[in-house]
Structure 1
């Protein structure tokens, strides 16, 4: 190799690095702009699972989004501008959410981001959104750490500490001794820590506990140990698909006691079948709620999708409406969304109550609590306990 060729090659490499740096600087600069494209449509970016293990949640989100957008645009959109989504399939994988965040920050037509599904996936991308000054609305992110990412990280989700304090309260009414399984993830470990502390405070003995791998299909070795600890109840801290396997395999190994776990989703009910009858979960919504607002939503959802809505349909539906209201108040720009979230005092939703404002320190709603749901005859119904 000649010295002349080597020097020329070195110059080309340096030129490439300089070009990449210029592009990165332009993307960063775009992130700080007003992000109003001047067109007739404004966009929310969605980072969420359409494929992979969490794809079912993306499907439920899509239904909630579709109904909300249909209603919003029929009513004139945001100050006359149509609202649409730009969706990137993250598989709820932290390794994928970061480049998606970079893409969204660099797209001037996107005025806010929705997602991701899991807290770890969202937290990984938070630095990008906060540097780019693009609101990251993690509407299913219950980790207490999510909104600590910065001024642009917001969530309406009830936090894990509140969920698990209520979980322990409802367990206490039926059990003095429990076995617990929880997901071997950052979210699962945090959920168990909060449940463990609340259980201790309420005098509940945890006779056995074990983490479980999210992608496992056979939990019976762990469940047999939990069964043999002779608990009054079995507590599962995880998601719908693993919860369905847990409760079915619990019944297979002969455990007949009370089960607390799974999620308020059609997938959990379908996969778990009769094994989950009598299950108790934390929830935000039940289609049997008799309020006019909820029944109007349920009627329209069933007419469009021929099924009852569940929590994750409601999370998505409410998320669109909250961001639209924020933009109507502050303007259809990135700064306008942030202004609206800070200033509007009367947000509402199907799963968030009749009126709420965001606490400006935590960037979460004040005073929103989960409700206790009981699986009865194949449907979750509220018990009336608060």
Structure 2
């Protein structure tokens, strides 16, 4: 009897832990909370936390509370892979959200696919990310569409006939977007007068910009991240280049104007949503975000929020809280009402949705146009 009692006393804490754990749904997040593009990860995390706080305050998902486990990948591909391995093998998450950068999502996706844990990237736009396997999803548009959007905007809205490209050769995102822009712009009758490169972390771009200046392009397409883009804008204006600068969603950060200062004003990039939207859902999201964080949500915050809501809805529909059941429901996502537009996930596990073009005006982003698929 004494042995039985001792055994029960030893097991009871474990039973309590199991009961507690069974009432939680563990979701993993990996992102750049530190590093050269830390605003991406920090904004995403704020959007995710706000969404899950709302879900938990409303009773959770089928009565179970969500616990978000976040790992900083420091903006490094190898750390992204390590983060996802840890989230799956040590933290036992049932699904993962991340990353913003396509290169880091590509480093992590094979691990999620290997362990068959659904990974939902909210902002990685390189098309090859979801091609890793059937457990990899995204809620953002992809670069073939984003490249088309900016080529069409340059051609139709800015009446550009000649364009130069300055791409980051270390970024899958930048290379893929540059390739698509080049192809689409030429299809529209435009000419690519120069296609030059730099590498993430560079600070001097004057040699490339001098070559571009000699070609006198109507526009310059720079599909990079905000850190380098801000510096490029400054150096372009110092060299007397007046051509409009164009880019993709990698520009979207509160740091863009801080780095680029006046030189970045008046330039354009494609984005996932606009803070000028009059959609009641968007207006309410922005209001709640400002109340919670005392700042205006950028696109990464909005996408993080949407990713959390899409994933929660899939978990809520699933017959059981297992990676396989969640994967099956994510694949069925259709016409999901989100802050960044209605989300439908197609057979390739990519989202079909519109993009907006915005113009930088100091710390603000002026809505210019919407371009649908």
Scaled by the length of structure 1, what TM-score is found? 0.85
Question: Closer, same or farther in 2 for the Cα pair 1:43/1:176, shift >3 Å?
Answer: same
- Deviations 1:98-134 (Å, cap 9, x if unpaired)? 3323222224641101112322222222222112110
Contact 2:261 2:362 in 1 (8 A): no
Matched, 1:266 2:254: yes
Equivalent residue, structure 2, for 1:238:
224
Equivalent residue, structure 1, for 2:209:
223
Distance 1:108 1:385 in 2: 41
Equivalent residue, structure 2, for 1:179:
164
Matched, 1:189 2:172: no
Secondary structure in 1 matching 2:175: helix
Matched, 1:382 2:367: yes
Matched, 1:147 2:134: no
Equivalent residue, structure 1, for 2:81:
98
Of residues 337, 340, 343 in structure 1, which corresponds to 2:332?
343
Distance 1:204 1:276 in 2: 24
Of residues 293, 296, 299 in structure 2, which corresponds to 1:305?
293
In terms of mean alpha carbon deviation, does 320-329 or 175-184 score higher? 175-184
Equivalent residue, structure 1, for 2:120:
137
Question: Closer, same or farther in 2 for the Cα pair 1:37/1:181, shift >3 Å?
Answer: farther
Distance 1:108 1:277 in 2: 44
Equivalent residue, structure 2, for 1:357:
344
Of residues 279, 289, 300 in structure 2, which corresponds to 1:291?
279
Contact 1:67 1:317 in 2 (8 A): yes
User: What's the CA shift for 1:62?
Assistant: 1.7
Matched, 1:42 2:25: yes
Matched, 1:74 2:65: no
Q: Give the paired residue count.
A: 348
Structure 2: stretches of 5+ with no match in the other structure? 1-17
Distance 2:364 2:237 in 1: 19
User: What's the CA shift for 1:158?
Assistant: 0.9
Matched, 1:256 2:239: no
User: What's the CA shift for 1:97?
Assistant: 2.5
Equivalent residue, structure 1, for 2:314:
326
In terms of mean alpha carbon deviation, does 154-163 or 122-131 score higher? 122-131
Contact 1:43 1:84 in 2 (8 A): yes
Contact 1:279 1:375 in 2 (8 A): yes
Contact 1:37 1:108 in 2 (8 A): no
Question: Closer, same or farther in 2 for the Cα pair 1:152/1:385, shift >3 Å?
Answer: closer
Contact 2:150 2:270 in 1 (8 A): yes
- Deviations 1:2-22 (Å, cap 9, x if unpaired)? xxxxxxxxxxxxxxxxxxxxx
Distance 1:42 1:246 in 2: 44
Equivalent residue, structure 1, for 2:40:
57
Equivalent residue, structure 1, for 2:268:
280
Question: Closer, same or farther in 2 for the Cα pair 1:99/1:385, shift >3 Å?
Answer: closer
Secondary structure in 2 matching 1:80: coil
Matched, 1:371 2:359: no
Distance 2:107 2:217 in 1: 37
User: Pairwise CA RMSD of aligned residues?
Assistant: 1.9
Contact 2:219 2:246 in 1 (8 A): yes
Secondary structure in 2 matching 1:110: coil
Contact 1:281 1:373 in 2 (8 A): yes
